[in-house]
A and B are shown apart, each in its own frame.
Chain A
Amino acid sequence: MSNVIAELKYTKKHEWIKIDGDKAYIGITDFAQDELGEIVYVELPEVGDTFEADDEIASLESVKAAAAMYNPLSGKVVEVNELLEDSPESVNEDSYKNYIYAIEFSNSVELDELLDAAAYTAFIESLEE
C-alpha cells in the first residue's frame, strides 16, 4: 500500500502539492515513484518560466520508462530541486521529502481542483483493484 501524507493536496496525475503562502511545492507521490521504478534522470523546468495548468513541465526518466509531469497550478517557477540533478534516485527514497519544483501560483481558484489525502487514497485504491 502506497504512502499518502494527510497534510498534502494531490492530483489524479499522482502529484502532491504543499501550499506555502502564494507558493506551492510540487512533487510526485509514493504511488507514482513505485510505478515508475528506479529514477535515473529528472528534467527540471527553468526558474522564471511560466506555465499554465496542465502544461507539461518536467519529466522523470526511470530505468523502465519516461513519465511527463503536468503542472497543476498556473504560475511562475520560483525554485527547482537542484539536488535531483545529481541524485534523481532521492525521489524513490522519499518522494514527499524531495520536491521537484515550486511555483508561485497566479490563480487560486485552481486550488479547488486538488484532491485531499482521503480522495487521493480512494483514487489509488480504485486503480489497485
Chain B
Amino acid sequence: MKKTPLHDVYRNAEGVKIIDFGGWELPVNFSAGILNEHHAVRNSAGLFDVSHMGEVIVEGPGSGEYVDRLMTNSISNLGDGEVLYTLMCYPDGGIVDDLIVYRISSEKYFLVINAANIEKDYSWIASENPGANGEKFNNLIIENVSAQYCQLAVQGPAADAILSVLYPQAGEIGFFKFVPDAEICGYQVLISRTGYTGEDGFEIYCSNESAPLIWNSLLVAGKESGLIPCGLGARDSLRLEAKLPLYGHEISSSITPLEANLSYFVDFSRSDFYGKTALLKQKAEGVPRTLRGIKMIDKGVPRHGYSVYISGKDKPVGYVTSGTKSPTTGHFIGLVMIERGTGLKIGDTLEIEIHNKRKRAELVRTPFYKKNRRQ
C-alpha cells in the first residue's frame, strides 16, 4: 500500500482512522470525526493531506498547443500564474479524467490529476508525444512528478488568515490564481487559491521533505481559528454539497462531459481537441442523459448505483452517482444520472430504490450548498 510522506506524522494520532483508498493508506477522518471536520471547513478551516493526487509537468516548445489539444477547455486564454479546471476526453467523448492546469509559463504547464488515474492519465498525456505528431513536439518533456510533490489543502473561510501567518502575501492570490515560488517555513512551494470543498481556500504543493514541517506549522498557525486536520470523509461530503464531480461517480470513461452537465468546461470554438468530433455529434443528435440533484422526501441515504424511477414506473430512468446526508443542510442529498426527455422538472417527485424499498425524492437545483460571498 502506498503512503504519503505525511503518513508518519498523523498515523498514530488519537482518533485517526486510516483506510485503503485505491491502494493508498489515507485518513478517512481524524479525532473530530467526519461531521465536525465538515463543519470546521464550512465555518472556520480544515487541513487536508491530499498528497496522493498526481502531478504531471509538460514543458518545452509547443507545450501550450500540445496541452490544449488534450483538454476540453481551452488553455489559450490562460496567463502565467493562472489555473484552469478542465477535462480530458478520449476520441469517443468518454472522460479520461478531470484535472486542473497551472500555466507556469507559455512553455511550462503543471497538471494535477486524480490519484487513481495517475498511470492511465500519464500514459494518455504522453502517448501522442514524439513520433506520432511529427517533429513539432520532439523537444517536449512530459514528466510524471507525482512522487516528488506533497499537496496540502487549507480550506474554509479562515484559510486566508491562517495561511497569511506563514505566507503574508496569501491574501493577494486571486481565485484560481497561483504563485509558483512562494516561501513557507524556509521552503519554496507552489500555492494556488483552489480547492475541492466549495469554500475559499488554498492548495500548497511542496517537496516531500518540507511537508511535515508545513503541516505542523499550519496546524499551529490555525489553532485559534479552529483549524483541524480533516480526512477523506469530509472531503467527499464537502465536494458533494458543492456539486464538484468525482471521477468514478459523476464522470468516467463511459460518461461524456455533456452528460455530466460540464459543457461549461468544453470549448468547441477551437479547431480541434480530443473528443471534439464525438461531443459535437452527441450535441447534434441529443444528449441522452443528464446529471441532476435530488433531496430525499422519505428518509434514507441514496448511494452510488441505486436505481432511480419515475413514481409508479417499473423501469429505472437512471442511477445515483453519489449521495450522503448533507451535514450543512441536514438533508439526504444525491446526484443522479437520468435519461433526458422524462419531463421531470425541479420540484417533481421521483423514487430511489434503497434496500429494496422505493423512497421518494424531490428533484432540486444544485449545488446543494453555495458559500456566502463575504467580500
Contacts and interface: CB of A to CB of B under 8 A. Distances in A.
B355 interface: yes
B332 A37 contact: no
Contact of B35 (A38, A41, A66): A38
A63 B324 contact: yes
Contact of A61 (B17, B33, B301): B301
Contact of A63 (B233, B299, B355): B233
Nearest to B325: A40
A41 B332 contact: yes
A59 B332 CA distance: 15
Contacts of B300: 41, 43, 61
A53 interface: no
A40 B28 contact: no
B355 A43 contact: yes
**Interface residues of B, dominant DSSP:** mixed
A13 interface: no
B34 interface: yes
Contacts of B289: none
A63 B303 contact: no
**Interface residues of A, dominant DSSP:** strand
Nearest to B326: A40
Given A41-B300, A41-B301, A68-B355, A63 B332 contact: no
A43 B324 CA distance: 15
A56 B325 CA distance: 23
A12 interface: no
B233 A66 contact: no
Contacts of B325: 40-41, 61, 63
Interface in A26-62: 37-38, 40-41, 43, 56, 59, 61
A40 B323 CA distance: 12
Contacts of A66: 301, 303, 355
B322 interface: no
B290 interface: no
A37 B28 CA distance: 10
Contacts of B299: 41, 43, 85
B34 A37 contact: yes
Interface in B204-262: 233, 237
B216 to A, nearest CB: 26
Contact of A38 (B34, B301, B332): B34
B362 to A, nearest CB: 17
Contacts of B233: 37, 63-64
B29 interface: yes
Contacts of B303: 66
Nearest to B303: A66
Contacts of A63: 34-35, 233, 237, 324-325, 327
Q: Which 7 A-B pairs have the closest CB atoms?
A: A40-B325, A61-B301, A63-B34, A59-B355, A38-B35, A38-B33, A41-B299
Interface of B: 17, 28-29, 33-35, 233, 237, 299-301, 303, 324-325, 327, 332, 355
13 contacts: A37-B28, A37-B34, A37-B233, A40-B325, A41-B300, A41-B332, A61-B300, A63-B34, A63-B324, A63-B325, A63-B327, A66-B303, A68-B355
